[in-house]
Amino acid sequence: MFEMETHISGLFPEILAIIFSYLDVRDKGRVAQVCAAWRDASYHKSVWRGVEAKLHLRRANPSLFPSLHTRGIRKVQILSLRRSLSYVIQGLPNIESLNLCGCFNLTDNGLGHAFVQDIPSLRILNLSLCKPITDSSLGRIAQYLKNLEVLELGGLSNITNTGLLLIAWGLHKLKSLNLRSCRHVSDVGIGHLAGMTRSAAEGCLSLEQMTLQDCQKLTDLSLKHVSKGLAKLKVLNLSFCGGISDAGMIHLSNMTHLSSLNLRSCDNISDMGIMHLAMGSLQLSGLDVSFCDKIGDQSLAYIAQGLYQLKSLSLCSCHISDDGINRMVRQMHELKTLNIGQCVRITDKGLELIADHLTQLTGIDLYGCTKITKRGLERITQLPCLKVLNLGLWQMTESEKVR
State phi, psi for 260 to the nearest 5 degrees. -140, 130
Output the pLDDT for position 403.
42
**Mean pLDDT over the full length of the chain:** 90
Asked if residue 134 belongs to a domain, the reply is yes
Q: Rounded CA gap, 236 and 377, in Å?
A: 34
In a domain, 122, yes or no: yes
List, in order, residues 6 or more apart from 132 with CB less than 8 Å away. 104, 105, 106, 107, 108, 158
Average pLDDT over residues 282-294: 97
Residue 242 near residue 266 (C-beta atoms within 8 A)? yes
The mean-pLDDT minimum among 31-40, 81-90, 151-160, 377-386 falls in 31-40
Same domain, yes or no: 212 and 346:
no
Least confident of 67-71, 89-93, 309-313: 67-71
CA atoms of 180 and 211, how far apart (whole Å): 6
3-state secondary structure the chain: CCCCCCCHHHCCHHHHHHHHCCCCHHHHHHHCCCCHHHHHHHCCHHHHCCCEEEEEECCCCCCHHHHHHHHCCCEEEEEEECCCHHHHHHHCCCCCEEECCCCCCCCHHHHHHHCCCCCCCCCEEECCCCCCCCHHHHHHHHHHCCCCCEEECCCCCCCCHHHHHHHHHHCCCCCEEECCCCCCCEHHHHHHHCCCCCCCCCCCCCCCEEECCCCCECCHHHHHHHHHHCCCCCEEECCCCCCCCHHHHHHHCCCCCCCEEECCCCCCCEHHHHHHHHHCCCCCCEEECCCCCECEHHHHHHHHHHCCCCCEEECCCCECCHHHHHHHHHHCCCCCEEECCCCCCCCHHHHHHHHHHCCCCCEEECCCCCCCCHHHHHHHCCCCCCCEEECCCCCCCCCCCCC
**34 within a domain of the structure (yes/no):** yes
pLDDT digit string (tens) for 157-205? 999 999 999 999 999 999 999 999 999 999 999 999 999 988 888 999 9
Tally of CB atoms within 10 A around 36: 8
Proportion of the chain above pLDDT 90, given as a percent: 72
Residues 6 or more apart whose CB falls under 8 angstroms from that of 213 comprise 180, 181, 237, 238, 239, 240, 241, 262
Q: Is the pLDDT of residue 245 over 50?
A: yes
Rounded Cα–Cα distance for residues 36 and 32 (Å): 8
Total count of residues recorded for the chain: 403
84/397: higher pLDDT: 84
Q: Write down the pLDDT at residue 315.
A: 98
Residues 340, 307: one domain?
Answer: yes
- In whole angstroms, what is the distance from residue 87 CA to residue 210 CA? 31
- The count of domains in the chain is 3
Residue 104 falls inside a structural domain:
yes
Average pLDDT over residues 302-324: 97
Q: Which of 202, 233, 264 is a domain's end point?
A: 233
Could you give the C-alpha distances from 379 to 358, 376, 382, 391, 393, in angstroms and in order?
A: 12, 5, 5, 14, 19
The answer to whether residues 202 and 277 belong to one domain is no
- Residue 396: the pLDDT is 39
pLDDT above 90: residue 241: yes
Q: Does residue 38 register a pLDDT over 80?
A: no
pLDDT at 200: 83
Domain boundary among 180, 210, 233: 233
b/e per residue 274-297 (b: at least 16 CB within 10 A): bbbbbbbebebbbbbbbbbebbbb
Please state, in angstroms and rounded to a whole number, the distance separating the CA atoms of residues 69 and 352.
Answer: 58
pTM over 0.85: yes
Q: Same domain for 85 and 139?
A: yes
Q: What is the pLDDT of residue 80?
A: 86
Q: Look at residue 239 and tell me if it is in a domain.
A: no
Whether the pLDDT of residue 81 is over 90: the answer is no
Same domain, 391 and 253: yes
CATH number, position 16: 1.20.1280
Q: What is the pLDDT of residue 4?
A: 56
pLDDT at 5: 61
Vertex 152 angle, CA 148 and 153, to 5° = 120
Report the DSSP beta bridge partners of residue 388. 363
Q: What is the per-residue pLDDT across 100-120, written as a single tens digit (0 to 9) for each?
A: 999 999 999 999 999 999 999
Task: State the pLDDT at residue 3.
Answer: 55
Share of the chain above pLDDT 70, in %: 92
Which CATH number fits the domain that encloses residue 264? 3.80.10.10
Give the number of other Cβ atoms within 10 Å of residue 194's Cβ: 24
Average pLDDT over residues 225-231: 97
**73: pLDDT confidence band, cut at 50, 70 and 90?**
confident
Range of the domain at 175: 51-233
Residues 82 and 141 reside in one and the same domain: yes
Averaged pLDDT for residues 23-33: 75
**Do both 40 and 88 map to the same domain?**
no
Of 199, 233, 267, which residue is a domain's last? 233
Do 226 and 294 lie in a common domain? no
pLDDT digits (tens, 9 = 90+) for 334-368: 999 999 999 999 999 999 999 999 999 999 999 99
Residue 20 lies inside a defined structural domain of this protein:
yes
pLDDT for 255 beyond 60: yes
The residue among 361, 300, 353, 308 whose CA lies nearest residue 328 is 300
Residue 238 domain flag: no
Whether residues 143 and 277 share a domain: the answer is: no
Mean pLDDT of 22-44: 75
pLDDT, residue 205, reads 96
Judged by average pLDDT, the poorest of 30-34, 91-95, 210-214 is 30-34
Q: Are 187 and 331 part of one and the same domain?
A: no
Q: Choose among 239, 331, 246, 334: nearest CA to 284.
A: 334
Residues 40 and 55 in one domain: no
Mean pLDDT of 285-294: 97
Q: Are residue 75 and residue 41 in the same domain, yes or no? A: no
Least confident of 4-13, 28-37, 52-61, 190-199: 4-13
